[in-house]
């Protein structure tokens, strides 16, 4: 593994619920290398969304630590954390685009917030749209785009802040298999060309298989096993990994049928 860039140390997180409390994370520890595409996989309720929100402190863990390039995010004050978060990009299942603004204006938006002059932000946004293969859609509105195109705009918008790490939370779940392939290829291209570290959070084994080098299997708020994608696909040890592989095989058969 490359030099560690994102380190999760013994995270615990409990939420209050009507019938008591829910332990969403139970001692989760992970080390993710610089420039790596790392997968976190688990079924609904495994703790994936809580984990990804703790990675950038949208949720503060009850205990444990999150280190980015050796720096504890939990030790930062509010202003320091705001600045660090600019370097942590988030891509979601739902694209969160501004419907009343054009594609170009959507990509310009984070640059506008940062006070970048209009001419400079337009030039940068157009270059990013070129990078994600959507330069010809600059004047279109989100309602005129397909799901895959919307996700490309969302990726271009995130890249506008020049992040060091991308957190992809079920980023392909709303897309059909063919469109998923194009988004995964784009993520690989971004990693290769920009050296960005990418964490892919998903419930789909085929996504992990196609894009990640290493993977952690999450179940019940705990890491059940972790290793290379090849190793876990060929020799799954945990019940959770075996169950996910079985679901993937059944889905593959249904696509083939």
Domain ranges of the chain: 29-87+164-257, 94-162
List the single range of 11-20, 54-63, 136-145 with lowest mean pLDDT. Answer: 11-20
- What's the mean per-residue pLDDT of the chain? 92
Q: Could you report the per-residue pLDDT of 62-93, keeping only the tens digit for each?
A: 999 999 999 999 999 999 999 898 889 999 88
Q: Would you identify the CATH topology of the domain 29-87+164-257?
A: Rossmann fold (3.40.50)
- Model pLDDT, residue 173: 87
pLDDT at residue 255 in the model? 54
Average pLDDT over residues 182-205: 93
Reply yes or no on whether the pLDDT at 94 is more than 90. no
Q: 3-class DSSP state for residue 139?
A: coil
CA dihedral sign, ordered 110, 164, 221, 213: positive
**pLDDT grade for 205, boundaries at 50, 70 and 90:** confident
CA 7, 9, 15, 20 torsion-angle sign: positive
Do 89 and 163 form a contact (C-beta atoms < 8 A)?
Answer: yes
What pLDDT, on a 0 to 100 scale, did the predictor assign at position 246? 86
- Rounded to two decimals, the pTM is 0.92
Cβ partners under 8 Å of residue 165, min gap 6: 5, 6, 68, 87, 88, 89, 196, 197, 198, 199
**Buried b vs exposed e over 214-244: b needs ≥16 C-beta within 10 Å?**
bbbbbbebbbbbbbebeebbeebebebbeeb
Question: Residues of the chain with pLDDT > 70: what percent?
Answer: 96
């Amino acid at each position: 593994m490359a030099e560690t860039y994102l380190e999760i140390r013994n995270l615990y997180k409990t939420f209050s619920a009507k019938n008591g409390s829910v332990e969403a994370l139970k001692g989760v520890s992970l080390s993710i290398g610089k420039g790596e595409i790392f997968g976190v996989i688990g079924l609904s309720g495994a703790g994936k969304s809580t984990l990804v929100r703790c990675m950038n402190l949208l949720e503060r863990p009850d205990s444990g630590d999150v280190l980015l390039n050796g720096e504890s995010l939990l030790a930062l004050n509010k202003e320091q954390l705001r600045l660090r978060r600019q370097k942590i990009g988030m891509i979601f299942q739902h694209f969160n685009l501004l419907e009343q603004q054009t594609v170009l204006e959507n990509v310009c938006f984070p640059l506008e917030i940062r006070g970048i002059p209009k001419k400079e932000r337009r030039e940068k946004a157009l270059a990013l749209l070129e990078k994600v293969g959507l330069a010809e859609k600059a004047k279109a509105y989100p309602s005129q785009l397909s799901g895959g195109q919307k996700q490309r705009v969302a990726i271009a918008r995130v890249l506008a802040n020049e992040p060091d790490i991308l957190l992809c939370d079920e980023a392909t779940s709303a897309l059909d298999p063919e469109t998923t392939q194009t988004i995964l290829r784009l993520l690989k291209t971004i990693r290769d060309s920009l050296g960005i570290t990418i964490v892919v959070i998903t419930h789909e084994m085929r996504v992990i298989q196609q894009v990640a080098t290493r993977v952690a299997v999450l179940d019940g708020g705990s890491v059940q096993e972790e290793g290379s994608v090849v190793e876990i696909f060929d020799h799954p040890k945990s019940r959770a990994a075996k169950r996910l592989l079985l679901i993937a095989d059944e889905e593959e058969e249904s696509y083939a049928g």
